[in-house]
Structure 1
Amino acid sequence: MTRIGNSDLDVFPLSLGGNVFGWTADRDESFAILDAFVAGGGDFIDTADSYSAWVPGNSGGESETIIGEWLASRKPENVVVATKVSQHPDFKGLSAANVRAAAEASLRRLGVDTIDLYYAHFDDESVQLAETVRAFGELQRDGLVRHVAVSNYTDSRIREWIDIARSLGIPSPVAIQPHYNLVHRNEVEGAIIPIAQEFHLGLVPYFSLAKGFLTGKYRSTDAAGQSSPRAQAASAYATEQGLAIVDTLARIGEAHGVSVAATALAWLRAQPTVVAPIASASRVDQVADLLDGGRVELSADEVAELTRVSEWTPASV
């Protein structure tokens, strides 16, 4: 178990992504995935109020609704649910009124009295940051939210949020959710991890498997023939270096008896301040790999080898 920042949330070090619920996993498959995750020791679920508004026929909130129905049906103990605000079609942005209305809507869909971890999903610079910080603080004061967090914020805006919170006597964020994985490292390692270390924040990375590339499914530099948008996005990482990373993951994973995906998640867990990478499963048979990713421990030499093979230096201007 791993504590999220300086909060009282102690979780299994792998978060199940709820972005697929109501999208590539229907209600029954979503229930089966959630059942398998919890049965295997998982207890940390990540979603957002906007999931999955991009699907034709959906309007947003489908993932929260499915999770809420599952919670009501199963009544699991000690499950931590994180959700986010700012992108739902009916609750855009981070004005105080919108943050309150969106949180109340999420609570109804989830069927809970309190959201364990509530993220500002994307920064909204059209609203004074102090207004947003105060709104999140009021949700905590009123018991609607236990802890707050930020997603897709720059280091300077995170620092500004913390400064405002401290000046107002409001609890600071306990977590940051950045895009971070073996093929997308530099920005997080250069700017986000240092501020997380400074303020004792936990990282909960998304795209931990690089849209599927770090499962080992894409093993050719030829992206032609990848039909789905998701496959095309994943295959974009299939450069010579990307394939070398996957080959190294496969070799190290084989030594531990786990998959490429589990090994990639284990490397991420070994990075400073990382609490629990987020990874999703569209089928129940994919859950075991994710759980392995939360348990397998790589040696220091294995972590260092993966770090070396995935180093990337931008071309000089």
Structure 2
Amino acid sequence: MLRRRIGGPSGPEVSALCLGTLPFGSTVDERTSFAILDRFVEAGGNLIDTSNNYVFWLPGSTGDESETTVGRWLADRHLREEVVISTKFGGRPTVPGSGLETAEGLSAPVVRKAAQESLRRLGTDRIDLYWSHIEDRTVSLEETLGALNALVSEGHVGVLGASNHPAWRVEQARAVAQVNGWASYSCVQQRYSYLQPRFDVALPEASHVHVTPEVLDYVGSEPDLTLMAYSTLLFGAYTRDDKPLSAAYDHPGTAPRLAVLREVASELDATPSQVVLAWLLHGTPPVIPIAGVSSVGQLDELLAAVDLRLEPEQRERLDRA
């Protein structure tokens, strides 16, 4: 599989497609989760994304499920050195049954405790890519980054990332890290897909922060910054009638883009989902899509997108629509 280096020239080399494991151990049972992980690695994938709060919002779930399932797979398959583990902290509720209103946040004690708990659930001694999952403006950047730098210095964490942070906040954090000689955020994770939402209408997922032209310009101008994208396939809305688009996508620009997407997919004998991923993978700047699936068959479809190449004219049509 195509490889990219994240976090600058000294960062790890990862697969251009990242496997998202949000439903593993909950709506996707362990046997199926293991089969998907096996197939991903067999196909050359090595970047696996999880979080310490997936999926706390489902009845009966705690947020342990995804990390624990990935950890059991790592132990069973003995593949820790073959994969790059990406996980997050900060968005785990502190009150069982509550939502992000009680999120743990980004204080120094949380940084330390959350990392220790993720390491235990994953059954490893290091997190290769560690994300601040949400913003927490009640805590200074110095406190959060100082605690994260300590984890890096101790060898428990490799690369640092900021998820759901606006570009200006990431730049502030990077400036703080530079002044103090600390490890810095070198990865950004936001929501991004081919269809673009209205920014005056809230997304149903209130915690999601969407990529803007400013973010693309920022990442493209910083050689050590990598952009990863979640919700890339809009929960199946490109191909499934039972997965309608939210109100944020109800605007005059959606229909023309969908029409061109389907035209290009037909020309390439590809699915719309494959074209969306190819559009992200080979754009400027290139994006590492996080692809979530619930079956090996779905994964095989998305893996084919890595080798899909858009002709310049096709890309121009997609961009112009």
- Report the TM range for the smaller structure's normalisation: 0.7 to 0.9
Q: CA deviation at 1:132?
A: 0.5
CA distance in 2, matches of 1:175, 1:305: 29
The TM-score with structure 1 as length reference comes to: 0.88
- Which one-letter code corresponds to 2:4 in the other structure? T
Q: How many residues align?
A: 297
Partner residue of 2:85? 81
Q: 1:236 to 1:170 in 2, by over 3 A?
A: closer
Match of 2:22 among 6, 19, 36: 19
Q: CA deviation at 1:12?
A: 1.4
Partner residue of 1:161? 173
Match of 1:197 among 220, 223, 226: 220
SS in structure 1 opposite 2:285?
Answer: coil
Q: Given the alignment of the two structures, is residue 5 of structure 1 paired with residue 7 of structure 2, yes or no?
A: yes
Bigger Cα displacement from structure 2, 291-300 vs 242-251? 242-251
Bigger Cα displacement from structure 2, 297-306 vs 159-168? 297-306
CA distance in 2, matches of 1:243, 1:75: 47
Q: CA deviation at 1:302?
A: 1.4
Partner residue of 2:273? 261
Q: CA deviation at 1:211?
A: 2.1
SS in structure 1 opposite 2:300?
Answer: helix
- Deviation readout 1:124-180 (Å, 9 max, x if unpaired): 001111100111111101111011010111111111100100011012212100111
CA distance in 1, matches of 2:251, 2:17: 27
The root-mean-square deviation of aligned C-alpha atoms, in Å, is: 2.0
Q: CA deviation at 1:8?
A: 2.1
Q: Given the alignment of the two structures, is residue 207 of structure 1 paired with residue 231 of structure 2, yes or no?
A: yes
Partner residue of 1:62? 65
Q: Given the alignment of the two structures, is residue 297 of structure 1 paired with residue 301 of structure 2, yes or no?
A: no
Partner residue of 1:285? 297
SS in structure 2 opposite 1:258?
Answer: coil
CA distance in 2, matches of 1:98, 1:258: 45
Partner residue of 2:35? 32
Q: CA deviation at 1:243?
A: 4.2
- Which one-letter code corresponds to 2:39 in the other structure? A
Partner residue of 2:126? 114
CA distance in 2, matches of 1:138, 1:172: 12
- 1:134-153 to 2 correspondences below 5 Å: 134-153=146-165
Q: CA deviation at 1:26?
A: 1.1
Q: CA deviation at 1:235?
A: 8.5
CA distance in 2, matches of 1:299, 1:288: 23
Q: How many percent of aligned residue pairs carry the same amino acid?
A: 36
**Residues 86 and 129 in structure 2, CA contact (< 8 A), matched pair in contact too:** yes
**Residues 266 and 293 in structure 1, CA contact (< 8 A), matched pair in contact too:** yes
Partner residue of 2:143? 131
- Deviation readout 1:245-279 (Å, 9 max, x if unpaired): 33322332233332211110110112223341111
SS in structure 2 opposite 1:174?
Answer: strand
**Residues 196 and 249 in structure 2, CA contact (< 8 A), matched pair in contact too:** no
Bigger Cα displacement from structure 2, 241-250 vs 285-294? 241-250
Q: CA deviation at 1:292?
A: 1.4
- Any stretches of 5+ residues in structure 1 without a counterpart? 219-225, 310-317
CA distance in 2, matches of 1:235, 1:69: 39
The TM-score with structure 2 as length reference comes to: 0.87
Partner residue of 2:98? none
Bigger Cα displacement from structure 2, 68-77 vs 122-131? 68-77
**Residues 3 and 9 in structure 1, CA contact (< 8 A), matched pair in contact too:** yes
Bigger Cα displacement from structure 2, 291-300 vs 129-138? 291-300
**Residues 7 and 159 in structure 2, CA contact (< 8 A), matched pair in contact too:** no
SS in structure 2 opposite 1:89?
Answer: coil
- Which one-letter code corresponds to 1:196 in the other structure? V
- Deviation readout 1:207-264 (Å, 9 max, x if unpaired): 11122223x223xxxxxxx5xxxx3556874766434433322332233332211110
SS in structure 2 opposite 1:11?
Answer: strand
**Residues 43 and 79 in structure 1, CA contact (< 8 A), matched pair in contact too:** yes
